[in-house]
Amino acid sequence: MSTANPYLSVIIPCFNEDASIPLFYEEAIKILAQINEQIEFIFIDDGSTDNTLNILRQLAAQNNNVNYISFSRNFGKEAAMLAGLQRANGQFIATMDIDLQDPPSLIPQMLEAVASGEYDCAGTRRVNRIGEPIIRSFFARRFYSFMKKFSDIEIVDGARDFRLMNRKYLEAFLALQERNRFSKGIFPWLGFKTKWFEYTNIGRTTGETKWSFGKLLLYSFDGIIAFSSKPLAIASILGILLFLASFLLIMLIVIRKIMFGDPVDGWASTICIILFCSGVQLFTTGILGQYMAKIYTETKQRPQYIVQEEKQWI
């Protein structure tokens, strides 16, 4: 690579993607040739167990503009994106998936919007979820509507991690020190002007999605906890309501005792109340625990990823 900073850095996290890399690279350089500027690619091997690292080594040896980082194990897509963003030298920076679900053909338009100076970031969103399991779409929609109601930021429905930003935006993103990085929420939190591009869902070129339903569910919890303290408020409100209800119940029992003596009945209702209350208690302690766990990981100050090998930047 020459010493001049590239015009555009493209960051691509890869987890077991040996089949997708050549397809992606071929497609990307074909389209990005239109831009006629210097472009660097930063591939992040997120602890793949297939041939991904070897393919990246080869690609980097053949092409000056290809850089790669390889993690010591799988640290997750957020960590991979962060590592790439921290090393990007470009005047403009794009992040995208490798499976061609994020069409490289959108990059020239996105670049135009940001390079014009009118916008600091270009984001993309899917306008449909065709080809996705119904249950996954259902929970995804619930997640977006929950975030809309209960957090201070607005996460655009269907927003992808396919973005293009200028350096000002990147530096603001990197200035955030938190370890639980939920970038879908961090980006809107930063503010600035974002132009949205819409496209319809495209199937993966090769391989399968790396996100199981459980992994996505946990990821959505991360998002909720990172950007909303409403679950804690809900827990408190539940506590107050239960307290009021129990107060009324106590009054009722006392009055009944005074008026009708103390007949031994109400066993079933007692058990129901005990079960209900202990359920609510466990639920609310669970919410507390989730926040505590996040505080715990933040205080440990562990690095978000560990690099085992990378192509040296010149």
Q: Which residue ranges make up the site for ligand UDP (CB under 6 A)?
A: 13-15, 17, 46, 74, 76-77, 80, 97-99, 101, 209-211
Q: Which of 45, 97, 120, 161 binds Mg ion (CB under 5 A)?
A: 97
Q: Where are the alpha helices (DSSP H) in 156-310?
A: 167-175, 183-190, 213-227, 230-260, 267-300
Shortest gap between Cβ of 134 and ligand UDP (angstroms)? 16
Mapping DSSP to helix (H, G, I), strand (E, B) and coil, where does residue 70 land? strand
Nearer to ligand UDP, 11 or 224 (CB): 11
Find which of ligand UDP, Mg ion, none residue 98 binds, CB within 5 to 8 Å per kind.
Answer: ligand UDP
Nearer to ligand UDP, 65 or 74 (CB): 74
Buried b (16+ CB within 10 A) or exposed e, 292-306: eebeeeeeeeeebbe
Nearer to Mg ion, 101 or 284 (CB): 101
- Amino acid occupying residue 211: W
Nearer to ligand UDP, 15 or 227 (CB): 15
Q: Which of 16, 48, 101, 124 binds Mg ion (CB under 5 A)?
A: 101
Nearer to Mg ion, 70 or 101 (CB): 101
Cα 68 to Cα 135: distance, rounded to the nearest angstrom: 36
CB 182 within 8 A of CB 222: yes
Shortest gap between Cβ of 162 and ligand UDP (angstroms)? 10
The DSSP code sequence of 39-61 is EEEEEEE-S-SSSHHHHHHHHHH
40 contacts Mg ion (rule: CB under 5 A):
no
Cα 148 to Cα 181: distance, rounded to the nearest angstrom: 19
The footprint of Mg ion (CB under 5 A) covers 97, 99, 101
